[in-house]
Chain A
Amino acid sequence: MRRSAAILALMFAGLAHADETRSFASRPDLPRASVASGYTFLTRETQLLQDDPFANPGYLWVDRGARSFTESIGTASCRSCHAADGERALVGVSARYPKIDSSTGALVNLERRINICRTRYQGLEPLPYESDLLLALTTYVAQLSRGQPYEVVIDGAAAPYFARGRDYFFTRRGQLNLACNQCHDDNFGKMLRGDRLTQGHPTAFPGYRLEWQTLGSLHRRIRDCDAGVRAEPRALGSEIYVALELYLAWRAGELPIESPGVRR
């Protein structure tokens, strides 16, 4: 009896532990010197599709986002706050996301930030994650930072989120029992069936994926990886994915933001 209680206690301890930060502190991050964009793993044809601002289908969403940004909608438009020269005012801003929202202390990504603007300042309903309009607005703002590297803050209030995101990256999961780092740190450049493994950087997103035949968010892309290792994908916009997004943004180092990128 005492023995089974002890086993039970151990099991609960294990369960409680499962959601906490494990210690992967000793695991090395991807060395800065070998950081390479997903772009370098694409075929030449797909690279050209991304580079041509007309042929890149992601710009359909940028155009729509730009229209929506200035549109008057019976309440303040995005532009009413973000200056008449709205374009300039938001240059470089997306590079600092995910970041801590000063009024709630929570880590928010660009999608969440746009919805905070809608509910807090515009008196509008938040847009559903992955809705066409939210993707358009996010891509429009992300594209204003095209060519710049991420500049995310990972200390202070962001530190616990960063630790959880990093942890998610190094944790084995799913029926295939694989962690992100096993493909994206240890085996990038090799073939995974018909596809070449990349380092898993977020710089192209929101981006156009040929497999999707449409533009999608980084979280949609991460869900595909989770489903690929037969793990339960987390919800779009979930806290753990935002934390992972922070780790990925930091891990991308000096890579320029490519959104709207084109990926296979």
Chain B
Amino acid sequence: MSDAHGIRIAAPNRASAGEVIEIKAMIQHEMETGYRRDQFGRQIPRFILERFECLYNGKPVFRAELFPAIAANPFLNFFIRATESGTLDFRWTDQDGHTFSERVTLEVV
């Protein structure tokens, strides 16, 4: 799965100033809890995402900590207020410190 850590993002391309917009993000990740065993009884090592954040023009507007109880392929849904045109950066980090990111642009009219 190492090359499959994709993300799906649903965010509007444009919004009016002051509008509250909905952002949805789903990250492909197994979120292995570390509590399971395989068919031979061996413990499956924990492998989870630990942090997720969304930056609006470089400023954090949403941040989440993730734990083993969160299901595979975490789905985060949140709202932000559109103030100026710019970028939304999504960043997520796994327990080994690997960080992945994706950017979308937002036009405020």
Which residues of A line the B interface, CB within 8 A?
A: 54-55, 57, 59-60, 63-64, 132, 213-214
Task: Return the chain B residue nearest A55 by Cβ.
Answer: B75
Is the beta-carbon distance between A60 and B73 smaller than 8 angstroms?
A: yes
Is the C-beta of B68 less than 8 angstroms from some C-beta in chain A?
A: no
* Chain B neighbourhood of A213, CB < 8 A: 30-31, 71-73
Is the beta-carbon distance between A64 and B6 smaller than 8 angstroms?
A: yes
* Chain A neighbourhood of B75, CB < 8 A: 55, 57
Interface of B is mostly: loop
Q: Give the interface size class of chain B.
A: 10 to 19
Q: List 9 A-B contacts (CB under 8 A).
A: A54-B24, A54-B26, A55-B26, A57-B73, A60-B26, A60-B73, A63-B6, A64-B6, A213-B73
Which residues of B line the A interface, CB within 8 A?
A: 1, 4, 6, 8, 10, 24, 26, 28, 30-31, 71-73, 75
* Pick from A59, A132, A214: contact of B8, CB under 8 Å: A59
* Chain B neighbourhood of A54, CB < 8 A: 8, 10, 24, 26
Is the beta-carbon distance between B10 and A60 smaller than 8 angstroms?
A: no
* Chain B neighbourhood of A214, CB < 8 A: 30, 72-73
Closest chain B CB from A232 CB (angstroms): 14
* Chain A neighbourhood of B73, CB < 8 A: 57, 60, 213-214
Task: Return the chain A residue nearest B24 by Cβ.
Answer: A54
Task: Return the chain B residue nearest A67 by Cβ.
Answer: B6
Is the beta-carbon distance between A60 and B24 smaller than 8 angstroms?
A: no
Closest chain B CB from A210 CB (angstroms): 8
